[in-house]
Copies of this chain bind each other. A is one copy, B any other.
Amino acid sequence: MRRLCMFFLATILSVTGVSYAGQDTLTQISTIDALMSGIYDGETTLQALKEKGDFGLGTFNTLDGEMVLLGGEFFRINGKGAVERPDLKTKTPFAAVTFFEADRIVPLKKGLDFKALVAATDKMLPTANMFYAIRITGSFSVVKTRSVPAQQKPYRPLSEVVKTQPVFTLNNVRGEIVGFRCPPYVKGVNVPGYHLHFITADRSAGGHVLDFSVDTAVLEVDDTSEFTVVIPSDKAFLEADLTPDREKELKAVEK
Contacts and interface: CB of A to CB of B under 8 A. Distances in A.
Interface of A: 21, 25, 31, 33-34, 126-131, 183-189, 225-231, 233, 237-240, 242-243
Contacts of A131: 231
Q: Please indicate which of the listed interface residues A129, A130, A184 has the most CB atoms of chain B within 10 Å of its own CB.
A: A129
A187 B184 CA distance: 11
B126 A238 contact: yes
Contact of A228 (B25, B126, B242): B25
Given A127-B238, A228-B228, A21 B184 contact: no
A162 B186 CA distance: 26
A47 to B, nearest CB: 17
> Assembly of this chain: how many copies?
2
B185 A242 contact: yes
A233 B21 contact: yes
Contacts of A21: 233
A239 to B, nearest CB: 7
A238 B185 contact: no
Nearest to A183: B242
A31 to B, nearest CB: 5
B242 A184 contact: yes
A156 to B, nearest CB: 21
Contact of A129 (B127, B184, B226, B231): B231
A189 B183 CA distance: 11
A129 B185 contact: no
A186 B28 CA distance: 14
